[in-house]
Structure 1
């Protein structure tokens, strides 16, 4: 598990617990912290001005993965958090509370799951369900709910955990960097000449409880990068335009599709890539992301975009200025401002 290596703490009042459209009238009503990845200089803005930072010919890449209602409860109230699909009827999962002694979990609708032999090195167990395929998903959408951590004080509908453009169900937690983007903003970007394309990465659990965080190299995630995306990125690189990833999931997908010669290729598979400060970024020039906790491996990735001292200075400033953290929070744009 990843040790705490980043020296800041997020005050309790900065843990966003309400979606922006419930706090105000629209998803894009969040703040934007703009950070120059080369100089470390920064300034404050509103997210609905995001399009002013992109130019004609730039490529904005989104993750089209859709969030699953990944929390289930047994009939005797044991909480199960799905973590990763292994087969049509088999999932890795996190069990909150005591494990059943007989290895059997009983759910509503006469659905059950049996615990199989698991890797003792991680807190996840493997569950084989009595239903599979479409029948499993029908069961999941009837009885499941989105993963909700302790800073979220009430239940929100599954739609609050989706981006407006998500289309392919598969993520355990929302790829949240794109949450504030509205159709209106996307249309404005397209009108400006920004190219908008999609990759796919289905996220796993970001937290295992009891101060346990997944290590990316042991935390595989399914991803896909299409030929269309590769072509547009190569065109942008040729003309000197920027490639902007919306979310760390997009960065992980794109950089995982780079071959041994540093060339981006259409790729579908699973990635265990851990992007850190010394990782060379072959594809992405800038990143739109949320604000991350000090224990999260996401900060390792951000340190590949900008020197860690600059990043930490920016995070302390964001705390001082009252930026909100997590999936319902504010947005950080890291990019080369002089490109």
Structure 2
């Protein structure tokens, strides 16, 4: 998604990470890490498995436990009397058997059916020519629906990825709750070994879920701004309690990913307290947003003019962020979900 307050820069094509780290011969937790000090603007360059060196006993890391679903499905539909192949991309789960979805290259009307297999089909229940997504009601629900999606689907792949990679490369090691159609990629660099190392130091770990929606819409005629992107979230009781205790004890809340920041700040009360809750958020965070919960951020490197950069500027002044990104480009950091990492603290 494009930024409302665009931070623009030139990103050379060779800095787009087209290959998972594991296929480049390094472990997922051995990608590079740029550390930005949000107080003085200084930067350090290290590797992600040294993350514990920058966190303190009593800090709390909050991770997004949403699991990536293979959101690209291919099926057949009847265009008049002719059977045609069709591709859909799941966008948002609305209920146990209804999803918003992008129909690729075709226009379907309410009542039309898509057949994915002899036992798996969907019917269009809502369509609006001014809106990129239709509503699809599937003939299955719950675990049966997910079983079919995981059996037949492929992960969403961006234009800079030049070959298909298995779904496992689009999962974090701790993902548990299926629902994201694009990987919550900030958590990808964590390994269980690193998580145990952090806990051994006294850094606590907690989880939320935010199911990411579809932002890559393939066609330039569609543009969904940050405020139009509603995503489902859940904060468990144990996470809310852990955040409250950490704050009271003077520890820092380190959000892993923009999804976690948006979830925590959506649920935050005026005094920064937080309670267990579920809902939908379209919260847009920018440089003048006062963050009530998150003290630091672990994230990937974001493309020019991306709305995620507006969120980062709530943690660190945009001139500092711009200089750090120029430094990352000079040092040949890799961008996107298979690339290197950034800690702002």
TM-score range with shorter-chain normalisation? over 0.9
* 155, 169, 192: which one aligns with 1:160: 169
Return the offset for 1:13: 0.9
For 2:94 and 2:17, the matched residues in 1 are separated by 32
For 2:321 and 2:118, the matched residues in 1 are separated by 49
* 239, 251, 255: which one aligns with 1:241: 251
SS in structure 2 of the partner of residue 293 of structure 1: coil
Q: 1:213-243 CA deviation, whole Å, 9 max, x = no partner?
A: 5322211111111222222222222232211
For 1:214 and 1:182, the matched residues in 2 are separated by 33
SS in structure 2 of the partner of residue 87 of structure 1: coil
For 1:3 and 1:193, the matched residues in 2 are separated by 37
* 108, 114, 117: which one aligns with 1:105: 114
SS in structure 1 of the partner of residue 144 of structure 2: helix
TM-score by length of 2: 0.91
TM-score by length of 1: 0.93
For 1:70 and 1:152, the matched residues in 2 are separated by 16
For 2:35 and 2:13, the matched residues in 1 are separated by 23
5 Å-filtered alignment, 1:255-266, equals 255-266=265-276
Q: 1:15-65 CA deviation, whole Å, 9 max, x = no partner?
A: 111111111141112110111112221121111111100111111111111
5 Å-filtered alignment, 1:73-222, equals 73-75=74-76, 76-100=84-108, 103-211=112-220, 212-222=222-232
SS in structure 2 of the partner of residue 81 of structure 1: strand
Q: 1:176-235 CA deviation, whole Å, 9 max, x = no partner?
A: 111111111111101101111111111111222234553222111111112222222222
- Give the match for residue 334 of structure 2: 324
Residues 32, 333 of structure 2: 8 Å contact kept: yes
- Give the match for residue 37 of structure 1: 38
For 1:149 and 1:281, the matched residues in 2 are separated by 31
Where structure 2 has 5 or more consecutive residues not aligned to the other structure, the ranges are 77-83
Alignment partner of 1:22 is 2:46: no
For 1:89 and 1:231, the matched residues in 2 are separated by 32
Alignment partner of 1:55 is 2:63: no
Where structure 1 has 5 or more consecutive residues not aligned to the other structure, the ranges are none
For 2:305 and 2:214, the matched residues in 1 are separated by 14
Return the offset for 1:109: 2.6
For the aligned residue pairs, the C-alpha RMSD in angstroms reads 1.9
